[in-house]
Amino acid sequence: MKVSTRYSDRSKLWIVYTDNMKMREKAISKSKRKLPIKHWSHSSLMAFLRNPLAWYKRYVEEIYDTPTTPAAVVGSAGHLALENFYNGADKELAIQKGLEYMRNVADFEIDFGSAKTRRAKREKRKKMEQEYLRAVSYYLQRPPRHKVLGVEVRGVVEVEGLPLPIKAISDLVVESKAQRGAVDIVDHKFVASFSKGGSAKSLFVIQAIFNYYTVREMFGKPVRRFIVYECKKTKNADSSPQMRRYVIDFKERKEDFKVFHRLINDATEEISRRRIYLPNPSDMFEGDNSFDIYRLELIDDDALA
């Protein structure tokens, strides 16, 4: 906003300038208050892109009543086991901690799909435990060697050029073997099949950049690589390795950072305007739930403004 030059007195000019700055700050503050969330995370961004209505329910209204999937339970148990292992627990205790978590998840918290009877659910749980034990045990037979600096590192940081802070959780932060004085980020995934595309997979790259910014801020060191270990839950018939390693070198990803910034800014602009959140019935995870919310009109117009 320009300051009129018809004031010759510097004090009057300063008053006009100060008033204009206050108006601008007030406008920015008001604009920020319109945003329905406090930060972006990889999971919330992916949820918004996949199913905006399901995203609104979970990340704006903070309603967490949607049952989790068996695969998600296995993945959470695996992460818990490795968290305990890298925090100093022996292998057997680490594995037991993951099993305890799985067994404490109630049936009503899991979407068993076609398994409706008690017997079918028991069989499904048995299969979940088998998959968990296979994947974690294989990983812990010869765990990757790293000098670990942090386990389950959680951070929310502001990034220049982004309108909202970003949040990320890094499974491990380790000394980099590719660059002296730098750190690498390690992420574990428990999968039914290995990912196509490897380190070029868009989901990996977006997640990597979320973690890059949080770790760089929290450790105050250069962040060189994002390393993904995929642990396969199903047994390979040909006895090939049950684990794959993908490496994203941030020095080779300058263009991806530009795309990331554009995506975050565009998504933030989308949620800042008044809009109607429509369901995505084809969403394999939350399609039915989001359509029910829309059909029953459980979110009123005032909430969408």
Q: Hey, where are the domains in the chain?
A: 70-141, 148-265
DSSP one-letter code for 301? H
Q: Write down the pLDDT at residue 34.
A: 78
Model confidence at 235, pLDDT cuts 50, 70, 90, reads: confident
Q: Write down the pLDDT at residue 238.
A: 83
Query: Which residue would you say has higher pLDDT here, 14 or 164?
Result: 164
For residue 13 the two structure tokens come to 């000019």
Query: Is the CB of residue 48 less than 8 Å from the CB of residue 271?
Result: yes
Mean pLDDT value across residues 96-106: 97
Q: Write down the pLDDT at residue 9.
A: 46
Q: Write down the pLDDT at residue 286.
A: 54
Q: Write down the pLDDT at residue 294.
A: 44
How many helices (H) does the chain have, and how many strands (E)?
10, 6
Fold category of 148-265 in CATH? Lambda Exonuclease; Chain A (3.90.320)
Share of the chain above pLDDT 90, in %: 66
Model confidence at 97, pLDDT cuts 50, 70, 90, reads: very high
| Residue 198: half-sphere exposure toward Cβ, Cα within 13 Å | 8
Query: Is the CB of residue 228 less than 8 Å from the CB of residue 199?
Result: yes
Model confidence at 277, pLDDT cuts 50, 70, 90, reads: low
**Lowest-confidence range among 98-102, 191-195, 289-293?**
289-293
Query: Which residue would you say has higher pLDDT here, 22 or 187?
Result: 187
Residue closest to 256 by CA, chosen among 212, 209, 224: 209
Separation CA 127–CA 121 (nearest Å): 10
Does the structure show a pLDDT above 70 at 229? yes
Chain mean pLDDT for the chain: 84
CB atoms near residue 3 (< 10 Å): 14
Mean pLDDT value across residues 35-54: 92
Give how far Cα 156 sits from Cα of 80, 128, 145, 212, Å: 21, 33, 28, 12
Query: Which residue would you say has higher pLDDT here, 258 or 294?
Result: 258
Give how far Cα 188 sits from Cα of 4, 170, 177, 261, Å: 59, 9, 18, 25
Q: How are beta strands 148-157 and 243-249 bridged, if at all?
A: unpaired
Q: Specify the residue for token string 């979320």.
A: 210
Does the structure show a pLDDT above 90 at 88? yes
User: Could you tell me where the DSSP H helices lie in the chain?
Assistant: 10-34, 42-50, 52-55, 70-86, 91-104, 118-141, 202-219, 254-272, 287-295, 301-304
Model confidence at 8, pLDDT cuts 50, 70, 90, reads: very low
- Residue 130 phi/psi, 5-degree rounding, is -60, -45
For residue 157 the two structure tokens come to 């940081």
Q: Write down the pLDDT at residue 3.
A: 38
Does the structure show a pLDDT above 80 at 41? yes
Mean pLDDT value across residues 247-276: 92
- Name the residue type at position 183: V
- Name the residue type at position 265: N
**Lowest-confidence range among 12-26, 46-60, 162-176, 204-218?**
12-26
Mean pLDDT value across residues 13-33: 46
Q: Write down the pLDDT at residue 297.
A: 52
For residue 42 the two structure tokens come to 């990889």
Model confidence at 289, pLDDT cuts 50, 70, 90, reads: low
Does the structure show a pLDDT above 90 at 27? no
End-to-end Cα distance, the chain = 28
Write the pLDDT tens digit of every residue in 143-197. Answer: 999 999 999 999 999 999 999 999 999 999 999 999 999 999 999 999 998 888 7
Taking each helix axis from N to C end, the angle separating 118-141 and 91-104, rounded to the nearest 10 degrees, works out to 160
